Amino acid sequence: MNPLSIAATFALTVLAVIVVFLVVTTYNSIVGLIQRIDKAWANIDVSLRQRHDELPNLLSAVRGIMSLEQTVFEEVARRRAEYRPTAPIPDQAATSEATSAAVRSLFAVVERYPALLSQHNVAALQAEIARLEGIIADRRELYNDSVYLYNTRIAQVPAVLVAWLFAWKPRPLFTAEPGDTVRPDVDLRFH
């Protein structure tokens, strides 16, 4: 083997190493993105469940004093009952947004009842649900960022080739379709 052949072999080896490195790194990177999306979704799911479990406590705590606010109660209860952990992500997003809107309306009505606000358990439940709402919002943002990174990555070179090879498809964002999150019609006048 003459020196020029050795040099050519060396050049091809270097190029092969670069190509293999890019393919392996890209594959691992996309697998990592998929895992992060699944984890981010699991974390949202935990928060949605927690809110689902906490809402009846708040409703039962305020129901006695706010007996005239049936519309608000019914709206919150109806939205809560729509929670389906196995439903497709866009459907869950719509339900979650509608529940958040109903909860915000409930909080707005509770503000009109000073007797309720002074009760320690109501304030604590309200704070807990507000905290969960904040966590859901933060985690939804993280999930959507992760999905955005993944969807962008599998559309770019060289990942697009690897994605085609492994039939990886874009993932849905956790956002409700327009119209799915119509704010409940709640009468906020003082009764």
Q: Which residues are near another protein by CB under 8 A?
A: 2-4, 6-7, 10-11, 14-15, 17-18, 21, 25, 29, 32-33, 36, 39-40, 43, 46, 134-135, 137-139, 141-142, 145-146, 148-149, 153
Return d(Cα 150, Cα 28) in angstroms, integer: 12
Q: How far is CA 93 from CA 169, 184, 187, in A?
A: 20, 16, 25
Q: Which is nearer to another protein, 74 or 138 (CB)?
A: 138
> Cβ 85 to another protein, closest distance in Å?
17
188, 109 contact by CB (below 8 A): yes
Q: Which CB sits closer to another protein, 30 or 72?
A: 30
If the CB atoms of residues 60 and 152 are measured against another protein, the closer one turns out to be: 152
Report d(CA 65, CA 165) in Å as an integer.
61
Judged by beta carbon, residue 116 or residue 132, the one nearer another protein is 132
Give min distance, CB of 89 to another protein, in A: 16
Phi and psi at 67, nearest 5°, equal -65, -20
What tokens does 117 get?
A: 């606000």
Residue 96 CB, nearest approach to another protein (Å): 14
Q: Extract the tokens encoding 101.
A: 């809107």
